Amino acid sequence: MERAKLGEAERHCAAQGERLTPLRRRVLEILQDAGQPLGAYAILEVLARDDRRRPLPPTVYRALDFLLAQGLAHKIHSQNAFLPCCAIGRVHTAELFVCRRCGVAREVPQDGEVARDERPPGFEVEAVVLEVRGVCGGCREPA
């Protein structure tokens, strides 16, 4: 993962009174370097190759939960997979375009949040993620 993004993630966590621990940082790097959504067990495999010790699944799930809570990653619920957020620290709706053929997902952040008049009274929005499934340009057959 590029140093600028990691620095941005660390500053964001510090501003929230949280720490991007070495494991959390490594999980975020793995997501960024993957180029496609990864499940927890795929992340476990990369971590095991890193230092020959295989962390337990709850360790990775805790790191992923932290990244989600801090807005550093998004979960693609239909795949039970994760990808890094491209708009750290910005309030936005994450539109995730997921190719049903190759599985690649891209985030297109939309500024702002759900309109206040569309929310039930007293409802506080914590995250808005919209999954859009289809076929990416690389997988579509030429016309």
Is position 142 within any domain?
A: no
Indicate whether this model's pTM tops 0.85: no
Residue 19 lies in a domain: yes
Secondary structure E strands in 3-137: 73-76, 81-84, 92-99, 105-111, 129-134
Do residues 54 and 29 share a domain? yes
- 140 within domain boundaries: no
Which stretches of the chain drop beneath a pLDDT of 50? 1
The number of distinct structural domains making up the chain is 2
| Amino acid sitting at position 62 | R
Domain coverage including residue 105: 92-134
Say whether both 34 and 69 belong to one domain.
Answer: yes
Q: Are residues 65 and 106 in the same domain?
A: no
- Distance, CA of 113 to CA of 111 (rounded, Å): 7
For residues 75 and 117, state if they share a domain. Answer: no
Identify which of 70, 82, 43 has the alpha carbon closest to the alpha carbon of residue 59: 43
Domain match, 40 and 62 both: yes
**The two three-digit tokens of residue 9, written as one number:** 């993630």
Rounded Cα gap, residues 28 and 72, in angstroms: 8
Assess whether 64 and 12 both reside in one domain: yes
Q: How many whole angstroms separate alpha carbon 75 and alpha carbon 93? A: 13
Q: Say whether both 78 and 22 belong to one domain.
A: yes
Instruction: Say yes or no: 23 and 70 in one domain.
Output: yes
Residues 69 and 109 occupy one common structural domain? no
pLDDT digits (tens, 9 = 90+) for 105-132: 998 877 665 555 577 888 877 777 789 9
pLDDT in tens, 72-85: 999 999 899 999 99
